[in-house]
Structure 1
């Protein structure tokens, strides 16, 4: 990017991240959005939950700063932050739901990430960054070398260095990293881990931008349908084959390997137990940072798949409408042909609409007629005495499927599969049979369910009988196993 005055002035006026930093409410937004989205790695949050959390934040600030601080309601602030003029939040609706959802925009996360770098650091490491830069240059140089002799010479050089290191270790000379080097490398690891989570939102935003461009092209297309389909399929291939698409696919394939996940878990556990690293007091989520990568990448994968599905449905709808119009025309022609088969008409068979314009004078239109207002008599209402059992209004059972899905995902983070009985033993049923049926409805991506009819299991739970006493109910059913998708 050019750092001239005109470019920076345009960024100051138009870029959402710069506008956020200039806002009077920047401390409120940065602190709240960091705690709500960035720190727990939350990608999407319902409007009701986010407004409730912000209302608690505003209440605490008004108690400390006075009742006149932040006079508007939480939902008004959220709608203002998500407006096109601000662009700090993305407000959208998911398929099959009428409740709005909120997510951070890449510009907001960049601003928050920059603010976290302003705090003074007691230790600034430079060795690990230099080694990383040197290793990247080596990979680029070796990866672009087409001469086989030079490639073989470099590989032999690395082999000789490894053999020499093996001989030194066998001789008792084991070089170890000192405490400073360990802290330096761990600090560099944590910075790259946070930046990787930040990059996911920008990748997802770029995918949505490319998809929106394709939809605009469909809406404005005036050529043939074949040329449109060819152009669209080429655009979808361009999304998948772009630099971001190929890089994201390589990252996803690497991380989805169960062997890589186990290796990352072992390495993280071993490094976090080192005394120099423990002195830095790393965040508790560091131990499962690779699962945060996996969750963020999975959300991006679902977004790309959903965009492709919506585009395919849009094309199917367009084709269906065109075919429907053609079939209606053909059906009308067939109907008239059958009507004329037996009796040939002598007069006019069909007419073409007149080519002249019809003139409608303004005074020919009817005048406005006000709607009749109903007259409500002032009659005193009497209380009815219907003998109705109102207990049914309070006996509704609501099962929180999101809580059940989180329970299954948490169990699958440590294991590749888990049975329904093990899940219920760890977290007993609270809503009885209704909650058991809700577990069976979770067999969708990314969760996969395997049912073994040959291995029945008995699942029991505590309930309240008709007499009001506690009892144990049991359900005999095939073994149900949740497998990581």
Structure 2
């Protein structure tokens, strides 16, 4: 296995392969471009820093125009911002993906996996004031131990391993009882946290790689549909075979396992509690907030959503092809029937000299003995003359009183009272002063309020967390776009 890996790497690093990569690979072409600093700095600011996966063309053009103002001599070639975006997204460059989202008629852009690899490589060139090796060394040993433990088939060795772990845990418990607790030093804490944030960013980059594989499968399927002249069953079989290859690959299995884990409510709850505990550490004050790791779970979910959306698009494309073929066949049959009717009308008044065709029956009539139904006597309906009496319901009436009523006028008063001293205020600040009493129902009522005194605005690129209270013994909250209530006087001014 090691020899195969070395051989593959040797072929990859050969002169011919590297020359081909230098000429055609988008990552290398981007780094070697004349305007690479201008391009990469803009892509990093718009896509990597904000972690956005789809930016409208009008907004991206506006941001690029502002970015070009800070770049000297960039307008000497008389190219507009839109010209640059079109150039970066064509097949010759492949640094941006240009597409139309579902239910939207405006072009959107997303960063390609190749461009993200360029940004990652340039980021790695930054001279770091802190290079931690202990945490990575421990991670290497842990991974190797996991491999050995996960592939152990001998029950005796497995029990011996578990007994050793049990002894280590009991030894640590005894030390804690004696007050001899081991603590991580500040350097060790920072090293492990920086390693965790680095791996979290790498996971986001992996999403684009998986998504690109499914997009390539989608493109190949469209090309096959355009050229296909065989049966629909063979095309569907080829599609599911290629899709299954991706699912069964190491990358596909790893992605499915990751998605199942991150969708677990227990995993997300554990992650949020862990981040809360980390924020309390003095050695990481300010570092956690700047890293953005507290919202990385939602970034992971958003990235995986794009992967599943590509799978959904491919399924719709295949279904549309099958439906189109079905409709085409139906139109052909209807046209044949129509031609027969037209021909029959033409021959209606003509007298045929001889019989040219005879049909006794359209199909043979076969009557079997067992097809005859046995005689069944009719059922007699008996009417019972009996007086009806009123009974008592055994159903619970608690559901009738479980209806949650939200006083909308009270919520409007909460907003107005808060806007007396402020020209605008966010929904989160209002709820801090007036906590939710009816949970999600009350929150949705806030979002549907409209009044003559104030105006409701929603910031799509900014988010805030709203505490819903205790639900089933757990503290619940939701993440929503930031909502602002503004006095209409302030809006008019």
TM-score normalised to structure 1 length: 0.69
1:15 aligned to 2:22? no
1:327 match: 334
Pairwise CA distance, 1:151: 2.4
| Contact map agreement 2:95 2:114 (CA 8 A) in 1 | yes
| Contact map agreement 1:81 1:89 (CA 8 A) in 2 | yes
| Contact map agreement 1:58 1:70 (CA 8 A) in 2 | no
How far, CA to CA, are the matches of 1:418 and 1:276 in structure 2?
36
Q: Helix, strand or coil for the counterpart of 2:30? A: helix
| Contact map agreement 1:106 1:205 (CA 8 A) in 2 | yes
- 1:179-218 aligned at under 5 Å gives the runs 179-218=186-225
Pairwise CA distance, 1:109: 0.5
TM-aligned CA distance change 1:163 to 1:339, over 3 Å: farther
How far, CA to CA, are the matches of 1:176 and 1:119 in structure 2?
31
1:36-85 per-position Cα deviation (integer Å, ceiling 9, x unaligned): 11111100111111001101111233xxx368556421111111111111
How far, CA to CA, are the matches of 1:253 and 1:261 in structure 2?
11
1:296-340 per-position Cα deviation (integer Å, ceiling 9, x unaligned): 122222222222222222222223223322332244335535765
1:49 match: 59
2:85 match: 78
2:257 match: 250
- 1:23-422 aligned at under 5 Å gives the runs 23-61=33-71, 65=72, 68=75, 71-278=78-285, 280=287, 283=290, 285-337=292-344, 340=347, 343=350, 419=440, 421-422=442-443
Instruction: Give unpaired runs (5+ residues) of structure 1.
Output: 350-406, 437-460, 469-485
How far, CA to CA, are the matches of 1:305 and 1:430 in structure 2?
40
How far, CA to CA, are the matches of 1:434 and 1:309 in structure 2?
40
Pairwise CA distance, 1:185: 0.5
How far, CA to CA, are the matches of 1:188 and 1:280 in structure 2?
13
| Contact map agreement 2:68 2:74 (CA 8 A) in 1 | no
Pairwise CA distance, 1:277: 2.1
Pairwise CA distance, 1:139: 1.6
TM-score normalised to structure 2 length: 0.68
| Contact map agreement 1:88 1:107 (CA 8 A) in 2 | yes
Q: Helix, strand or coil for the counterpart of 1:182? A: helix
1:364 match: none
How far, CA to CA, are the matches of 1:167 and 1:339 in structure 2?
104
> Alignment length, in residue pairs?
375
TM-aligned CA distance change 1:463 to 1:343, over 3 Å: farther
TM-aligned CA distance change 1:68 to 1:330, over 3 Å: closer
Q: Helix, strand or coil for the counterpart of 1:42? A: coil
How far, CA to CA, are the matches of 1:41 and 1:431 in structure 2?
37
How far, CA to CA, are the matches of 1:346 and 1:283 in structure 2?
97
How far, CA to CA, are the matches of 2:115 and 2:32 in structure 1?
12
| Contact map agreement 1:179 1:276 (CA 8 A) in 2 | yes
How far, CA to CA, are the matches of 2:76 and 2:321 in structure 1?
47
| Contact map agreement 2:288 2:294 (CA 8 A) in 1 | no
Q: Which has the larger radius of gyration?
A: 2
Instruction: Give unpaired runs (5+ residues) of structure 2.
Output: 1-8, 357-426, 458-484
Pairwise CA distance, 1:149: 2.8
| Contact map agreement 1:210 1:239 (CA 8 A) in 2 | no
| Contact map agreement 2:454 2:487 (CA 8 A) in 1 | no
